Amino acid sequence: MFTRRLGVGILVLFAASLVGCGTEPGTEVETPLECGGEPCDLPLEAGDAIRITLTSISCDAVNNAVRITAPASVAQVLTANACYATVGTEWNFPGPFADPSAIDFTIDSRIIDGDPALRATGTYPTWTVSFEDGADEDFNDIVLTVEAIAAAQ
């Protein structure tokens, strides 16, 4: 809080709001997946496999850990430092997964200027998952293509 005395006995208080819901720059946060501003996951159909491709990166931050959190049987860190990962890297999960099942992600990162965000667009069977690190609101810092691949019939 910053206090400044102006004029004769008049105090003006200026409370600086910090980014990240009360967190300071540099604070580590876990960013959940959202669709249209609401928490979500990406639905799978019975027998589906999953392919996740690192489509592009445009970030300078370090230690942005991308985690697949569901299905539980494949929950893991995909990359501990996505901003320095190789574009085109693929992660394949053959399934089948419990029915019903869904794909879910989080990204662990640090507060830069604003709140980080992770959003999904698209519909079954292909989605784009885009991460904004909070620096410029361009949602191109980490981009993943997520595909549900139907089981061979």
Look at residue 5 in the predicted model and tell me its pLDDT.
31
Number of domains in the chain: 1
Residue 9 counted as domain residue: no
pLDDT at 28 over 90: no
Tokens of 71: 């299905």
Residue range 100-115: average pLDDT? Answer: 89
Residue 18 counted as domain residue: no
Range of the domain at 37: 26-149
Calpha distance 74→92 (Å, rounded): 10
CATH of the domain at 56: 2.60.120.400
In which residue are the tokens 């099942």 written? 101
Residue 49 counted as domain residue: yes
pLDDT at 137 over 80: yes
Percent of the chain residues past pLDDT 70, beyond the cut = 82
Residue 2 counted as domain residue: no
Residue 76 counted as domain residue: yes
Residues in Cβ contact with 7 at an 8 Å cutoff, skipping those fewer than 6 apart: none
Residue 8 counted as domain residue: no
In this prediction the pTM is: 0.80
Are 129 and 119 within 8 A, CB to CB? yes
- Considering only 2-11, 15-24, 71-80, 140-149, which range has the smallest mean pLDDT? 2-11
- Tell me which DSSP letter residue 81 carries: -
pLDDT at 90 over 80: yes
Calpha distance 68→104 (Å, rounded): 6
